[in-house]
Structure 1
Amino acid sequence: MREKLDSLIDSLCRQGDYMCLNVLVQRDGETVYSRTAGYADKERNIPAREDTIFHLYSMSKPVTAAAVMKLWEDGLLDLMDPLTRYLPAFREQPVREDGRLVPRQSEITIQDLLNMTSGIPYPEGEETPEMSRLFEEAMAKAEGPGAFGTVELANRIAQTPLVFQPGTRWRYGASADVLGAVVEVVSGMRFGEYLRREFFEPLGMEDTGFFIPPEKKDRLAVIYRMPSGSEPVPYHDKHLVILDSETEPAFQSGGAGLVSTAKDYAAFMTMLMREGTSGGRRYLHPATVRFLRSGHLTPRQQETFDWPRLRGYTYGNLMRILESPQEQCVVCRKGEYGWDGWAGTYMEIHPEEKVCALIMTAQIDRENDCARRMLRNGIYRWVL
């Protein structure tokens, strides 16, 4: 039966749905399926391999959530703490309501940031002019001596308006980037260093971080623009201030900055699947992981969690959590959780079945929900 999934993966790359795919499925930490197809770099004729490095983009968010959970578990912060306790620059942040700037009525909490209920948006053109200008400035300075650091960019975000009063709605935005700054303030070290010390090094995630050393650059998958009906074009812009940097970048984005391999990221997923334990070491308490994988939106907030492809899910701690499988047009079970990335990466963890499934790729500008559903259904039907 697994040959059917092999054939599907090969055909999706061959017919242009994906430039490359690296699909990995593990049960209780053991690999039960692995397949690579397509090109990591079409122009240089480099095929995708098991050790190909991918930009995670928003699949960085679950890692950031785990870091915050670790600080919470260690008693170094409380989830109901006001953000201003760690980043005082947010004290005077206004809210845009009906075209006017009005005072904020309540504090942003750490849990608001984890639930995307803070009111902090992503840059979205004319709808968020101040945030859009800030990210344009950050991108222009990203590779020079004036590059914004993680805390500095968060403090600049504090000067832009919220799009709603904290805690009243859900909206995807730069909350995870602000959480990266909180981790730096609380831990007293750079965000990337904290992740290395607490997770990456002990988990053996040697190809995961915020930059790609020169000796590994040839393993990095090129991101392709792949609009339907057009030839793929390599993408080299700095989306959300994310660089192909060979050294530690000034801004270490908790929302989108990490690169990793399938093997590395699966090690992180397995740790979560095993409720915080891996290789005989405890990273998080089981109760912490159970909290991490739980939905935390109120009924009012849930009404605005309205992405069509996430029908049946709720949200919490920077991840989706499946509550109503019957609303998803895929074979799935209640309790599945995970997230995905701007360039096509996708992860899901099934705690009851002890299964982790991971799709790594590198492309934008192509609506691949149908192809992804085919892959997810294939994993369930032909592997598990």
Structure 2
Amino acid sequence: MTRAAPAGAGLDPAGLDPARLERWETHLKTRYLDTGILPNALTLVYHRGQVVHQRAQGLADVEAGTPLRDDHIFRIYSMTKPITSLAFMMLVEEGLSALSDPVSSVLPEWANLGVWTGGTHGSFSSAAPRRPMQMVDLLRHTSGLSYHIQQGGHLDGAYRDLGLGVKTTLPEFVAALAELPLEHEPGEHWHYSAATDVLSYVIERLSGQPFEDFVQERILTPLGMTDTGFHVPADKLDRFLPCYALTGQGRVLFDPTAGRFTRPPRFVSGGGGLVSTAADYLRLCRLFLRGGELDGTRLISPKTLELMTRNHLPGGADIARMALSPIAVSETSAAGVGFGLGFAVTLDPVRTLRAGNAGDYSWGGAAGTYFWVDPTEDLAVIFMTQLLLSPDRVRDDLRTFVYAALTDTPTRPRSLA
């Protein structure tokens, strides 16, 4: 569906031109849907307190011919990470931890982690780190950890061999990592990793309850995110999409039976385990736009949220300067983009070569989902699809078309200083 402008208005009162947003839908259809690259796409644009555009296109189930609807449930994968980061910062506000705390203060089994100096899985050598891994390192991906989805590093093969993040429980995952060295010195590089999954277990230890229960009781239920969770209940499976993958042979069906999402997972992943709808994720984005409060429920203070959405990379560096080369897997571009506590943060739109404002923050998921929040424009945009290895160009195109639809000059520029 599309929210139309008032009759005869020409321009939407929220400061966007609906005809220009329609250009996006046409571009999306001709370039990505009609060509068979994407199976489906849902775009939601929220500006100045209202949904000004929402459209579902394509087929939720290509084989069955089922049209995509606004209420379909998507695997959001790494768009789980901002929720986990929010959960941890809520505990920081309660005095249960601090960004400067060593991770080993909560996970004492990690007190003797070393940094890789040589060898392969089964014969690694390591040396003591120059400083302990801190909580802030888990949130900004400077921990030294790697990921089973990365390629080409010293450790990611061991992650795959051990089934980390796939076959283990969360406690087993953390215990296994204690036996492996770190890929690099904490704080030395930005390297997209399983750090947010470790943060899940830190939250579990600090709160004294299972991570999934904390998220449900302290975030999802208070925000009214009723279609978001770590699995899809049986009575909602008819709204859950298959997932596809883009390969050298084209688009293929990847997960026709919903796989692990039909039941509570063995591994509860704070890094990528949630499913959600566009409407639910909008509630989270609205919380962010409102400084941590929504419909009378405050989860976090405006100052803490401001801290989360600033660049935390050492020396004010961007990802391009800090990245452990090469970046095999990430959910953002690198030049002109920093990283906060759970989000990529635009530092300089000129260096990114894409539309936006300094201070807008974003993240995406492995199946092509993406969101960003722009406080300068009072704007939140959510994009949903279900295609692994989805082209990054889709996200850049979306930003181009949305910002091209803005009709007002922002009056509240945000300083990152």
With normalisation by structure 1, the TM-score equals 0.91
- 2-structure distance, mates of 1:300, 1:339: 19
Task: Provide the residue aligned with 2:343 in structure 1.
Answer: 319
Cα 1:299–1:243 change in 2 (3 A) is: farther
Which protein is richer in helix relative to its size? 1
2:344 and 2:316 map into 1 onto residues whose CA distance is: 17
5 Å-filtered alignment, 1:155-166, equals 155-166=175-186
Structure 1 match to 2:15: none
Does the 8 Å CA contact 1:97/1:164 hold for their aligned counterparts?
no
1:351 and 1:326 map into 2 onto residues whose CA distance is 18
In structure 1, the partner of 2:393 is 370
Is contact 2:368-2:389 (8 Å) kept? no
Matched, 1:7 2:26: yes
- Is 1:76 aligned to 2:96, yes or no? yes
Match in the other structure for 1:31: 51
CA distance in 1, matches of 2:250, 2:37: 12
Q: CA deviation at 1:247?
A: 2.8
1:360 aligns with 2:384: yes
How many equivalent pairs are there? 371
Q: Is the 8 Å Cα contact of residues 117 and 170 (structure 1) preserved in structure 2?
A: yes
1:343 to 367, 380, 391: 367
Counterpart residue identity of residue 392, structure 2: D
* Residue identity in the other structure for 2:59: Y
Q: Is the 8 A contact 2:223 2:297 kept in 1?
A: no
Given the alignment, which residue of 282, 288, 291 partners 1:266?
282
What letter matches 1:21 in structure 2? A
Structure with bigger RCO (C-alpha 8 Å, 6+ apart): 1
Q: 1:149 to 1:102 in 2, by over 3 A?
A: same
Render the CA deviation track for 1:260-317: whole Å, top value 9, x for unaligned: 0000011001101111010012111000110010111113964223768331111121
Q: Please list every run of 5 or more consecutive structure 2 residues that lacks an aligned counterpart in the other structure.
A: 1-18, 120-124, 408-417
Deviation at 1:329, TM superposition (A): 2.6
| Alignment deviations for residues 128-172 of structure 1 (CA, whole Å, 9 cap, x no partner) | 232221226x63xx4xxxxx3323312212211101111122111
Determine the structure 2 residue equivalent to 1:294: 310
Contact 1:274 1:354 in 2 (8 A): no
What pairs up with 1:190-339 in 2 under 5 angstroms? Answer: 190-227=210-247, 230-236=249-255, 244-299=260-315, 302=318, 303-305=321-323, 309-339=333-363
1:104 and 2:119 matched:
no
Question: Could you tell me whether the CA contact under 8 Å between 1:130 and 1:161 is conserved in 2?
Answer: no
What amino acid maps onto 2:169 in structure 1? G
Q: CA deviation at 1:237?
A: 10
Q: Distance in 2 between matches of 1:39 and 1:334?
A: 35
Cα distance change on mapping 1:131 and 1:119 into 2, 3 Å: same
Matched residues in 2 for 1:50 and 1:64: separation? 25
Separation in 2 of the partners of 1:195 and 1:243?
22
Alignment partners' CA distance in 2, 1:154 and 1:14: 44
Paired residue type of 1:226: L
Q: Determine if the alignment matches structure 1 residue 120 to structure 2 residue 161.
A: no
8 Å Cα contact 2:242-2:256 kept in structure 1: no
The structure-2 alpha-carbon separation of the partners of 1:364 and 1:247, relative to structure 1 and needing over 3 Å to count, comes to: closer
**Structure 2 residue identity aligned to 1:353:** E
Tell me what 1:145 maps to.
Answer: none
The TM-score, its normalising length taken from structure 2, stands at 0.84
Code of the aligned partner of 1:304: M
- Counterpart CA distance in 2 for 1:371 and 1:172 is 21
Identity of aligned residues (%): 31
Question: Alpha-carbon deviation of 1:97?
Answer: 2.3
Q: Secondary structure in 2 aligned to 1:3?
A: helix
* SS, match of residue 343 in structure 1: coil
Change (3 A) 1:163 1:237: farther
Amino acid at match of 2:220: F
Q: CA deviation at 1:68?
A: 0.8
1:98-135 superposed Cα distances (whole Å, 9 cap, x missing partner): 54422233211111111111101012466323222122
Secondary structure of 2:162's partner?
A: helix
For the 8 Å contact 1:212–1:244, the answer to whether it is kept is no
Q: 1:4·1:382 contact (CA, 8 Å) conserved in 2?
A: no
**1:180-234: CA deviation from partner (whole Å, max 9, x where unpaired):** 0001111111111111111111111011011111121121121111236x34211
Helix, strand or coil at the partner of 1:164:
coil
Contact 1:54/1:360, CA 8 A, preserved across alignment: yes
**Alignment RMSD (CA, Å):** 2.2
**1:134 and 2:162 correspond:** yes
2:97 is paired with a residue whose SS is coil
Q: What are the Cα deviations for residues 231-254 of structure 1, in whole angstroms up to 9, with x where unaligned? A: 42111399xxx9533332232111
CA contact (8 A) 1:151 1:184 kept: no
Q: Is the 8 A contact 1:342 1:364 kept in 2?
A: yes
SS state of the match for residue 307, structure 2?
helix
Indicate if the aligned counterparts of 1:5 and 1:382 stay in contact, CA closer than 8 A: no
The range that moved more, 372-381 or 5-14, is 5-14
Residue by residue over 1:34-92, the C-alpha shift from the partner in whole angstroms, topping out at 9 and shown as x without a partner, is 01111111112112110111111111111111111101111111111111111112112
Contact preservation (8 Å) 1:211, 1:247: yes
Give the secondary-structure state (helix, strand or coil) at the position aligned to 1:348: strand
Q: Residue 79 of structure 2: which of 55, 59, 67 is its match?
A: 59
